[in-house]
Structure 1
Amino acid sequence: MVSIELLVVLVAIFIGARIGGIGIGFAGGFGVLVLTLGLGMTPGTIPIDVILIIMSVIAAIAAMQVAGGLQFLVNIAERVLRKNPKQVTFLAPIVTYTMTLFAGTGHTAFSTLPVIAEVAKEQGIRPSRPLSIAVVASQIAITASPISAAVVLMSGMLESKGVGYISLLMICIPATFIACMIGAFVAQFMGKELQDDPVYQDRLAHGLVSKRDSTNTELPAGAKRSVIVFLVAIVAVVFYATAISDAVGLIDNPTLPRNEAIMVFMLTAATAITLFCKIDTAEVLNAATFKSGMSACICVLGVAWLGDTFVAGHLEEIKALSGGLLEEHSWMLAIILFLASMLLYSQAATTAALMPSAFMLGVSPEAAIASFAAVSALFVLPTYPTLLAAVEMDDTGSTRIGHWVFNHPFVIPGVVSIVSSVIIGFVLAEMIL
């Protein structure tokens, strides 16, 4: 029966991966149906708090987008890139990393990719270099964002292990940022120089390389205000989480627990943006960030529920089968997370599906935090939206997908960045925890 139940889980994940996007959540629910009503297993735990936090955060982000806040950030990013165009390979990942860290979603990179490609072309720099590491940085930064679903999930699991929210951020933020800079260093040596690339020369000869206009679009009056409100909300979340933590203890026996506090601060931010920036709330429902966030809720619901149903039903067998392997060789968790995230296409879904099992199998908090960045291997298969957008934005042809699927420019800087983050994470975890 265990083999049959495991097969159901794998088939559900495979179907979800084939459907893509929100389909991963759909297939997860289907898997739970087969395991429970079909095979008699007890349904696992649904991560209700995480889903509610995602909804609250996305509500605030979508309100900020409608108010013009995201475009305001893009305009700042363009000025930074154009001020130091020769350093675009290093500045591009800094921009996408910072925006993801701030917004809690990697989809903010979509707006900056055209600017990165254009600045690189203007300088005669192969666009695949900054574009590849920029996309990777936007994905890895999810594991360092104070308000991302993956970080909220991870911090909730770590609390029972005596590791606080702030400690997690103190390790993940420097580890992932330094790792992305190492990835950028590697990326700047990838591929031929632009003028020596035959694909570029051919496209140039056929008039297929164009020049895009600068993105000087007029912003709504409340664009800057919306960003300030959202930033204040994030600072409030971090400050409150610090104040109620056992390590700091400024607030004893808090009336509002951390998870509920995140929801309250984010919904309050959405309210303030709506009132002070005078946005139409009906437009929030149609915002791209709102749609992607609701998709993330379904994905977490389906995949996390499916994983917990199987693991909770066979915890003793899984422990016996592992034979202490993960406990003795904790670095192997990073490899497992890396491979799983390639298929699950979501940092939050991968975290929800595998991290609880890792802790149950005896993986230490230090190893789990160090390996956390490995849930960001969404760049390996060339089908992730931001990756495809980068390919589309580069009309020089330098950012292209090869015939062998995996031979594309995102793999090397991505793998280097994740490996670097895991190594740095282990060092920082030993120092901080």
Structure 2
Amino acid sequence: MLIIFIELLVVLLALYLGSKYGSLALGAIAGLGLAILVFDHGLKPGTPPTDVIYIIVAAVTCAGVLQASGGMDWMIQIVERILRKHPQHITFLAPLSTFFLTVACGTGHVMYTLMPIVTDVAIKKGIRPERPLAVASVASMLAIVCSPISAAVVAFSTISGLNGFSISIPQIVAVTIPACLCGIIAASSWSYNRGLDLNKDPEFLEKIKDPVQYAFVYGNTATTLDKQIDKKSKWAVYIFLAAIVLIVILAFAQDILPAFDTVKAIEGASAVALPTGKTVSPSDLASAGIVMAGVTEKVPATIHMYLVIQIILISAAALMIIICGTKPKAAVAGNVWQSGMVAVIAIYGIAWLANTFFGAHMAEVEELLDDMVDNYPWAIALVFFIFSVLINSQAAVVVALLPVAYKLGIPGWILLGALPCVYGYFFIPNYPSDIATVNIDRTGTTKIGKYVLNHSFMVPGLISVAISTVVAYIISSIFF
């Protein structure tokens, strides 16, 4: 047991150091932890989550090309017109805007262009910018579990299917979208009157006594409305949205997907003895595509949905490049593509590390958590949340912990209800979206407190995740 505890410390230390250094370090240092477990402790390496990684690459490529085409600018313009038309409702409209942008694009990093506009609208209306900004930042990341093309959602569907809980992507988002909207509206309601209005805040009033600060706060205007949007940029948006709609349709109607012959092990077939004296299991023969009478057989199998998603998204990216004249180099240089590639490395290292540790000690973990699973299966939501605080990636939490949760015997409908809890990285305000939001607020009302944890995102984050999880749990219990 001491050895297991030491190996767990290696995992946690790798996650802590990766989170401390951030960016690519999250995956790279997880790889260092993996090296220690394999070469020093002799654990058998787990399997890296290649299927999920490929989906992220496809989604990020498609979203990155959309950004490079100018299509995201057009989407932001549409949102800005709504916000400026109804500035009095900015505390509700801003988080709803970032939420639906993330749902559409599959990444929360589309919020960066919108946040200066939210700040500008709030200042001109005399509303404390902290109110809409903090909830909008939380909403943009919580929405990842609601996007049909996000890695977290696709990974949940794929892993669940492999563990006996067959659930499609539309079924997942049919639970998470209404649940997370309830959470965001609750957080927005709490934020509506948080803090003092700008004209009553002594700290802010003291700040703008300085002419330089006054000019900084009131002399700037952030807008995208002065940008000329090319027709080709609009076509890129149409192509992108058509790809998402097609994915949803095919997820609902998988019967129309093409089927191909595949090799499957015959149930009850015994292992095959080789001339060398070794034996080969039917499943190994099937994996190698070898058909052997009485052991394996050819059967038609529908193409997996995770492959369909990859094909459609990559094709959409290609169409945007060919039809809309989008420059591939511009896509690679954009923050959407770059942040997505960082997520790929993080998931690659973290999930591989977790898979190796839990794969080696699954029996001990099952014994340790047996009472919790039997009596408090919903407590897996707390495990998801804590793990997310450490690793700053919802997809990585799903890929690393969901197979473990299924092996522990936790029902799929409970895990679906707990899905909003894979977003917990607002708790320690070191994620780029939160840091950027603090820097974007010219008034200084959105802040990280003296004691770090008393920051602007804490209460909106806790309310959003808690309410979303409760509602998702109720919806999932009713329908699944």
Q: Residue 213 of structure 1: CA displacement?
A: 4.2
Structure 2 residue corresponding to 1:348, chosen from 388, 395, 403 = 395
1:30 counterpart SS class: helix
Between 1:275-284 and 1:259-268, the stretch displaced more is 275-284
In the alignment, is the contact (CA less than 8 A) between 2:69 and 2:233 conserved in 1?
Answer: yes
Question: Over residues 199-243 of structure 1, what are the superposed CA-to-partner deviations in whole Å (9 max), with x where a residue is unaligned?
Answer: 211222113123314322223441111111000001111111111
Structure 2 residue 221 is matched with structure 1 residue 212: yes
Contact 1:17 / 1:343 at 8 angstroms: preserved in 2? yes
CA RMSD of superposed structures (Å) = 1.4
Distance in 2 (CA, whole Å) between partners of 1:324 and 1:356 is 19
Contact persistence 2:257–2:302 (CA under 8 A): no
State which of 200, 206, 220 in structure 1 corresponds to 2:204.
200
Residue 60 (structure 2) pairs with residue 58 (structure 1): yes
What is residue 184 of structure 1 aligned with on the other side?
188
Identify the residue that residue 388 of structure 1 maps to in structure 2.
435
Residue 418 of structure 2 aligns to a residue whose secondary structure is helix
Which has the greater radius of gyration?
A: 2
* Alpha-carbon distance between aligned partners in 1 of 2:374 and 2:469, rounded to the nearest angstrom: 16
CA displacement 1:92-133 (0-9 Å, x = unmatched): 011000000011111011111001111111111111000010
Q: Distance in 1 between the 2:41 and 2:127 partners?
A: 57
Q: CA deviation at 1:323?
A: 2.3
CA deviation after TM superposition for structure 1 residue 59, in Å: 0.9
Q: CA deviation at 1:432?
A: 1.6
1:303 to 341, 350, 362: 350
Residues 327, 364 of structure 1: 8 Å contact kept: no
Corresponding residue SS for 2:208: helix
Alignment of 1:376-415 (within 5 A): 376-415=423-462
Structure 2 distance, partners of 1:313, 1:174, is 38
The reply on whether 1:315 has 2:362 as its aligned counterpart is: yes
1 CA distance for matches of 2:190 and 2:374?
32
Does structure 1 residue 366 correspond to structure 2 residue 413? yes
The residue aligned with 2:376 is: 329
Conservation of the 8 A alpha-carbon contact between 1:327 and 1:361? no
Partner of 2:124: 122
Partner SS state of residue 253, structure 2 = helix
Equivalences for residues 77-226 of structure 1 within 5 A: 77-159=79-161, 160-165=163-168, 166-207=170-211, 208=213, 209-210=217-218, 211-215=220-224, 216-226=226-236
SS in 1 for 2:31: helix
For residue 117 of structure 2, what is the amino acid of its counterpart? Answer: V
Please, what TM-score do these two structures have when normalized by structure 1?
A: 0.96
CA distance in 1, matches of 2:252, 2:199: 52
In 2, Cα distance between equivalents of 1:416 and 1:56? 33
Cα distance in 1, alignment partners of residues 404 and 323 from structure 2: 45
Which amino acid in structure 1 is aligned with residue 382 of structure 2?
I
State TM-score, norm by structure 2: 0.87
Q: Map of 1:65-80 to 2, 5 A cutoff?
A: 65-80=67-82
Contact 1:367 1:426 in 2 (8 A): yes
Paired-residue identity, %? 34
Secondary structure at the aligned position of 2:333 is classed as coil
C-alpha distance in structure 1 between counterparts of 2:125 and 2:82, whole Å: 15
Secondary structure (helix, strand or coil) at the match of 1:191 reads coil
Query: What is the CA-CA distance between 1:57 and the residue it aligns to?
Result: 0.9
Q: How many residues were matched structurally? A: 429
Q: Which residue does 2:469 correspond to in 1?
A: 422
Q: How far apart, CA to CA, are the structure 2 residues paired with 1:88 and 1:420?
A: 21
Could you tell which deviates more after superposition, 7-16 or 43-52? 7-16
Which amino acid in 2 is paired with 1:203? K
Residues 219 and 327 of structure 1: CA distance in aligned 2, closer, same or farther (over 3 Å): farther
* Structure 1: distance between partners of 2:30 and 2:230: 40
Cα distance in 1, alignment partners of residues 106 and 253 from structure 2? 22
Deviation at 1:251, TM superposition (A): 5.1
Instruction: Tell me the amino acid that sits aligned with residue 41 of structure 2.
Output: L
Query: Is 2:237 the partner of 1:227?
Result: yes
> Counterpart amino acid of 1:225?
W
Q: Deviations over 1:229-271 (max 9, x none)?
A: 0000011111111111xxxx45584643201100100011001
Q: Structure 2: which 5+ runs fail to align? A: 260-300
Unaligned runs of 5+ in 1: none
> Which letter does structure 1 place at the counterpart of 2:68?
V
Alpha carbons of structure 1 residues 213 and 134: separation in structure 2 relative to 1, 3 Å: closer
Distance 1:180 1:213 in 2: 25
Counterparts of 1:171 and 1:351 in 2: how far apart (Å)? 16
